[in-house]
Structure 1
Amino acid sequence: MAEINVDHSKYQNIRFDIQDESAIMTDILETIPYEYPGKDIEVEIPTSEFTSVCPWSGLPDFAEITISFVPGRHLIEMKSLKYYLTSYRNVGIYQEHATRRILEELVAVSKPKWMKVEALWNARGGLGTRVVAEWTGE
């Protein structure tokens, strides 16, 4: 079989524009009152459209994210959540860090009794990642 030489040097300096974490619109998050405090419900918010980028290569990372929580006195306002999650689109952030940051910022704004963020990151190079971050009210 003939040897094939391929010059990969053209890929060495390719880098896509990457925003830093200051682009994440934390201040856009809002809540609305939960009208039944003391009567627990579990809220589950799934999305299959989450995107950030690898801070190393700038290539996109796609995830299915499910946010589950038991509200205290506040619910997360959905439009603000959509804008918040979309603001990650070009941010260079590791998958594990994005998952944890989402949890911490949502807990800070909504003050739930319990919250979990689960992210199923699409496979790259044959490896997918499942990251679960949970807050138990402590």
Structure 2
Amino acid sequence: MSDENIYANLTQLGRRTELPTSPEQAVLERVPNPQKDARYAVRFTAPEFTSLCPLTGQPDFAHLVIDYVPAGWLVESKSLKLYLGSFRNHGAFHEDCTVSIGRRLADLLEPEWLRIGGYWYPRGGMPIDVFYQTGEPPRDVWLPDQGVATYRGRG
């Protein structure tokens, strides 16, 4: 596939796209990895992620950090942004949101390795941090610390 055609199947990039109403309706898109002969890590950070408490309907907020070592595919970033935005009206516990995002990306991309850190702001006075990864981290790829400090309140 020539370089100019690897993006031919994208349906959202470069177009006006409405925010999906749910994660199930969101379309995550991938493109071939043009550097698949190199081993490297990709990081996406979503410091203003929101979802809803499934019982109260109140908003929950998190700082998400997604790292992956691609194999044959890369996630298209606009589709990822729209997918993550679709959670703002979705009711689910922190654990469900974080792990669902990690699993959906792993299923789509089939990466060498993927991890997601969900650093959630307190609900009921207690922060809940959720971590998911697909296996052992590769030893020969630079994987920086996710850089999110544990919750300290006012301190």
CA contact (8 A) 1:25 1:83 kept: no
Q: Write out per-residue CA displacement over residues 23-60 of structure 1, whole angstroms, 9 at most, x where no aligned residue.
A: 21455100111112131101111111111000010000
How far is the alpha carbon of 1:136 from its aligned partner?
Answer: 2.1
Superposition misfits of 4+ residues, deviation over 6 angstroms? none
**In structure 2, how many angstroms separate the alpha carbons of the residues matched to 1:98 and 1:27?**
14
Deviations 1:68-125 (CA, angstroms, capped at 9, x unpaired): 0000011110000001000111111010011110011001111100000100000123
Q: Partners in 2 of 1:78 and 1:127 — Cα distance? A: 31
With normalisation by structure 1, the TM-score equals: 0.79
Q: Which has the higher strand share?
A: 1
Superposition pairs of residues 56-75 of structure 1, within 5 angstroms: 56-75=55-74
Say whether 1:131 aligns with 2:130.
yes
- Give 1 or 2 for the bigger CA radius of gyration: 1
The size of the alignment, in residue pairs, is 116
- 1:98-109 superposed matches below 5 A: 98-109=97-108
Query: TM-score normalised to the size of structure 2?
Result: 0.71
Give the Cα separation in 1 of the matches to 2:95 and 2:82: 21
In 2, Cα distance between the equivalents of 1:111 and 1:26?
A: 21
- Structure 2 runs not aligned, ≥5 long: 1-20, 137-155
What is the percent sequence identity of the aligned residues?
Answer: 35
